[in-house]
Amino acid sequence: MHTADLSLRVSLRKQPCVLDPTLILAHAHGPELAMRLTQVLEPWLTRSFWQIIDSSELLEQQRSFAAAPPAPESLHVRTDATALTSWIALRDRTDASSWPLRWVGDNLSESQLGNEDCLEIVERYEQLARTLEDRAGLGRSRCPAWHYGIDPILTALDTAALSATLGGALILCEIPTRDAAPWPVQALSLSGLHPLRIDDATNDSLFDTEREWVRDVLVTAGLSVLAQRLPPLAIVHVLTDLVASPQTANDSADTQADPWSSAQAWWYVL
């Protein structure tokens, strides 16, 4: 038998999925969730996620503090010790070129963009993240009380900016309590935006089809049982008109405009 002369390999790009830091850092199964998702999606981590990991020693001190809890206006979510340890171990034993996860770092060399190693993504993210924080009027501390945990609103602003950077990529996040909106939705509302909740009962858009697709994807990745150990999950999409690098704008006035002025966002319970 002769060896075939033609070899054909078809590779389809996986859909990008931004993981909200609170979901994967505040729950013991967060790292497992992220790694299993690489089988079916292209998970993206936020810059704030790595900032929390880099501050892990300080975060660990939260378990030894006997001080009173922070003031009510200072909202924090505790990191899970198991999740934090797992992420640190994964970082320490994984070569930079072998990461199955993607992220935008402080610059191009510190980013993991896969096949999209271009400066344009980093620049677009920088502008969107900066202007979104400005809209949120972050009189909130840029140096939160780390020993009390994660600031879910501050990190969710980062999550929303990354979704918009990736052209409205889906965000996988948690619903913190029964009557509360997901953290990215709360963050966007703080910024003067009004995400639209997609109601299953009246929905006639493609989001209904997407919801079923995402549920099928989670089942394919073997996450049915693990999802039962997590809070209710939600999907958020954030889209702006900023689709090109600021340096390619037609005039300088465009680069100074608020890219969030006509932004839209949608969310639904998964």
Distance of CA 264 to the CA centre of its chain: 17
How wide is the angle at C-alpha 163 spanned by C-alphas 158 and 169, nearest 5°? 155
Rounded to whole angstroms, the Cα distance separating 102 from 113 reads 5
Which pLDDT tens digits describe the chain residue by residue (270 residues)?
A: 555 566 555 456 789 999 999 999 999 999 999 999 999 999 999 999 988 888 776 555 555 444 444 444 446 788 899 999 999 999 888 877 778 899 887 777 777 787 655 878 888 999 999 999 988 885 444 444 444 578 899 999 999 999 999 999 999 999 998 788 999 999 999 999 999 999 865 666 788 889 999 999 999 999 999 999 999 999 999 999 865 544 444 444 444 578 998 899 999 999
How wide is the angle at C-alpha 133 spanned by C-alphas 174 and 176, nearest 5°? 15
Rounded to whole angstroms, the Cα distance separating 91 from 34 reads 13
Q: Is 207 exposed, middle or buried (0-12, 13-18, 19+ CB in 10 A)?
A: middle
The whole-number pLDDT of residue 66 equals 42
Parse the chain into domains and list their residue ranges.
16-269
Longest pairwise C-alpha distance within the chain? 77
The whole-number pLDDT of residue 4 equals 56
Residue the block writes with tokens 């038998």: 1
The whole-number pLDDT of residue 72 equals 43
Residue the block writes with tokens 């009173």: 68
Rounded to whole angstroms, the Cα distance separating 267 from 184 reads 9
Rounded to whole angstroms, the Cα distance separating 32 from 43 reads 12
Rounded to whole angstroms, the Cα distance separating 144 from 207 reads 36
The whole-number pLDDT of residue 59 equals 54
The whole-number pLDDT of residue 189 equals 93
